[in-house]
Amino acid sequence: MGNHARVTLAGMFMARISQGDTLPVDRPARAGLRHRDRLIIAAMLLITGLFLFLDARPLPILLWDESRNIVNALEMNRNGFSLVTTYRGEPDLWNTKPPLLIWLMVGSVRLFGESDWALRLPSMIATLGTLAMVMMFVRRTTGSIWTAALAAALLAASPGLFGEHGARTADYDALLVFFSTAYLLLLFGALHHRRPAGRTLALIGLCVTGAILTKSVAGIVPGLGVGLYLLLTQRLARLWRGWAWAATGAAIAATILLFLAVREIETPGYLLASWHNDAGGRFAQSLIGARKPATFYLAILWAGYVAAPLLLILAPVALIQAQGRARAALLYSLSIIVTMLVAISLAASKLHHYILPALPFMAIAAAITLRTLLQRLAAAHAAGNSRYRIRAAGLVAVGAFALFTAGQSALTRRYLIDPPYEGRNAARYGALFDRLGPQGRAITVVDPGFVRDEDLHYAPVLLAYRLLWQGRGVSIGWTTALENSANAKAEMLASCDPDIVTPLLKRGRDVGGVAGCAAVLQR
């Protein structure tokens, strides 16, 4: 079949898509091909897993918001499962996210014991699940297992994925990305069938509910892009045909309303606090310091928060050239990316990790874009048109440069650069307790923490490490001022607060051996 015939058929096919016909599913022709694909997917999961999680330098517990989650989980582990998360024994009305992640963290530590890696395990598993879903989706829509592997590599190489709040921390975002990616990829298939299967809609409902029960309103923001895609493909009316879609939406709403009602009964004031922390307050005013400009997310993307941003810039060119199901997947991904960028850019509160649910679709769009450019180069070579061949080669060269810089940036940021995490001083308590804990001595930590709202001595990282070591039988007390330590019955005083370390060392020789900290024996 000639090039002209293929282009004509592709145009007719896309016209049928816009009219609502079902998209064909690419299936390998031979069982051996399917077996090969499974092996490649397993190999990519192993490689990306090693890249993401194998650490020569252990990652300390981080201040925002990992330490708070760890305290919530450790307290629930000791007090029993509940809808209500607690901080220092009191219902937590500052961290008002639903408890799904905390439940998973509690389940993990009950299986493997209380440790930082067990607390982070749900995020790790969720990330591997997201990588697997991305690969299977790209393989199904493009018919190319190598494009699928590229999408997974680009996602894993994105500093946004492996950085703070990402795959390696006990934060909400990795689990949110898993659920939002799952329901969006399931929706892609369901929206291209006149009558989607009931089990597909049930899975979509479960995943949407999971996303909301992970991070509240943030769970539905990625789904806004589906509306744009439906408008562009003239499929919006399909949602009102029959009762299945309405029933799915009603089931999701009923589950969430039931949770909110019970949670409010358990802790009066929860609804108001949740609205302020997770929805209206965060959108209307900046809850995290000075308001950032509307271009904040575009700036961090261009700076390399996602791998190969140049490929995203070329995506509109690829959208013109792509064909069939790959073109639909590219348009779907771009719809989600653009809509989410607009939504989070309009919010007053802007943080880097708010864009994480868009990263899988950026990786999908980038991989399909590069594949389309390579196809264009092959077509130019076959056609023998030198001018067309030069243009295609130029686009491919840009894509190759983007891949090279993405790989270099990922390796540098992952292994060479030590990011300046907030709460770095408190994070040293992990190394300090690793040295002091096995000695079996009772310890009193002197650390004033810092002021957060009504809490004058906020120290969640220290509290998280104290709970972990107390679970191992080590007595670790806490006082906020050195003068208060005179009444401490502990055998040892310790601190990683720079204002406390110098006067503490005047009381004796350091026995901790951790830079930036001090530990002295009581006289």
Mean pLDDT of the region 249-269: 95
Q: What is the dihedral of CA 514, 518, 522, 523, to 10 degrees?
A: 110
More confident residue, 416 or 200: 200
pLDDT digits (tens, 9 = 90+) for 330-386: 999 999 999 999 999 988 888 889 999 999 999 999 999 999 988 888 887 777 777
Sign, Cα dihedral of 449, 123, 357, 308: positive
pLDDT category at 1 given cuts 50, 70, 90 is: very low
Whether the predicted pLDDT of 497 surpasses 70: yes
259-270 b/e (C-beta count within 10 Å ≥ 16 → b): beeebeeebeeb
User: Pairing between strand 90-91 and 450-452?
Assistant: unpaired
pTM above 0.85, yes or no: yes
pLDDT category at 446 given cuts 50, 70, 90 is: very high
pLDDT category at 286 given cuts 50, 70, 90 is: low
Of 242, 210, 253, nearest in space to 99 by CA: 210
Whether the predicted pLDDT of 426 surpasses 70: yes
Beta bridge partners of 91: 86
- Residues 126 and 168 sit within 8 Å (Cβ to Cβ): no
Residue with tokens 């990616």: 181
493 burial type by CB count under 10 A (0-12 exposed, 13-18 middle, 19+ buried) = buried
Q: Give the span between the Cα atoms of 297 and 309, in whole angstroms.
A: 12
The three-point CA angle 249-252-257 to 5° equals: 120
User: Pairing between strand 518-521 and 492-495?
Assistant: antiparallel
Query: DSSP assignment of 136-201, as one string?
Result: HHHHHHHS-HHHHHHHHHHHHT-HHHHSTTSTTSSSSHHHHHHHHHHHHHHHHHHHTSSS--HHHH
Identify the three-state secondary structure at position 29.
coil
Q: Give the span between the Cα atoms of 51 and 49, in whole angstroms.
A: 5
Whether the predicted pLDDT of 195 surpasses 90: no
